[in-house]
């Protein structure tokens, strides 16, 4: 019997997770399919440590077993003369309810493992923020919409039609103004009367 994945880490190389699909397949199932699922999960979640590896393994097996139970449900429905007849037969109905319950159980197991894995990975990332290489991304700049009220072109006195408001009928000038980083403003000084 093969040891669980979280115990195989000491034997397996650190760079490639070891997953023995033969331990989890039954007659009629393809171990290569389970290994492909496992490879995808390990590449996506990149578990660190035995607990995260166990959670990823639990998700892999929950998906695999859910598919197995789903195939059995399909087989039961296909072999029945009709779905109504299947539901009328107490023994078949009980078996179908058990199968549907197992599908739902594996679904819940998958989501619980995913939630716990995400929690652990988030906790690890906040506890040990490793320096990430910065990509050459454009710097996001702050822009705000500016509306300048202008009474009339003559009152503005500027030569530029956008600045003096004539481009907008002499009433408002619209534009966007680049803002800098947030600055602390000093408190207003008391004025003496």
Q: What is the pLDDT of residues 159-177, one digit of tens each?
A: 555 554 445 455 555 555 5
* Rounded average pLDDT over 43-53: 94
How does pLDDT run across 107-119, given as a tens digit for each residue?
999 999 999 999 9
How does pLDDT run across 118-165, given as a tens digit for each residue?
999 999 989 876 666 666 655 555 555 555 555 555 555 555 555 544
Nearest to 6 by CA among 34, 42, 37, 44: 42
Q: Classify residue 15 by its DSSP letter.
A: T
Q: Where are the domains of the chain?
A: 5-127, 144-177
* Rounded average pLDDT over 10-22: 60
- Predicted confidence band at 60 (pLDDT cuts at 50, 70, 90)? very high
Phi, psi of 152 (to 5 degrees): -160, 160
User: Taking the chain, what is the end-to-end CA distance rounded to the nearest angstrom?
Assistant: 91
86 vs 120, higher pLDDT = 120
Please report the pLDDT score of residue 10 as a whole number: 45
Q: Which residue has the tokens 């107490």?
A: 90
Q: How buried is residue 57: exposed, middle or buried, by Cβ count under 10 Å (0-12/13-18/19+)?
A: buried
Are 80 and 86 in contact, with CB atoms under 8 Å apart? yes
Please report the pLDDT score of residue 38 as a whole number: 95
CB neighbourhood size of 53 (10 A)? 24
The pLDDT mean for the chain works out to: 76
* Residues present in the chain in total: 193
Cα–Cα distances (Å) from 82 to 52, 87, 88, 92, 149, in that order, read 45, 9, 10, 12, 75
Q: Which residue has the tokens 């166990």?
A: 54
Please report the pLDDT score of residue 14 as a whole number: 47
Are 150 and 170 in contact, with CB atoms under 8 Å apart? yes
Please report the pLDDT score of residue 30 as a whole number: 93
* Rounded average pLDDT over 39-62: 95
pTM score:
0.58
Please report the pLDDT score of residue 20 as a whole number: 84
């Amino acid at each position: 019997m093969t040891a669980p994945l979280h115990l195989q880490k000491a034997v397996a190389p650190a760079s490639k997770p070891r997953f023995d699909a033969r331990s989890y397949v039954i007659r009629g199932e393809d171990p290569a399919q389970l290994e492909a699922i496992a490879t995808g999960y390990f590449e996506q979640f990149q578990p660190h440590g035995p607990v995260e590896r166990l959670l990823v393994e639990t998700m892999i097996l929950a998906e695999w077993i859910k598919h197995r139970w789903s195939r059995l449900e399909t087989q039961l429905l296909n072999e029945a003369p009709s779905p109504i007849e299947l539901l009328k037969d107490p023994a078949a109905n009980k078996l179908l309810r058990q199968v549907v319950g197992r599908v739902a159980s594996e679904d819940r197991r998958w989501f619980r493992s995913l939630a716990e894995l995400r929690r652990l990975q988030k906790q690890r990332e906040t506890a040990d923020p490793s320096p990430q290489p910065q990509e050459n991304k454009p710097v996001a700049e702050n822009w705000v919409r500016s509306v300048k009220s202008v009474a009339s072109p003559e009152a503005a006195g500027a030569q530029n039609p956008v600045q003096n408001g004539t481009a907008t009928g002499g009433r408002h000038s619209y534009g966007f103004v680049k803002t800098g980083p947030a600055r602390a403003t000093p408190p207003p000084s008391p004025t003496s009367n």
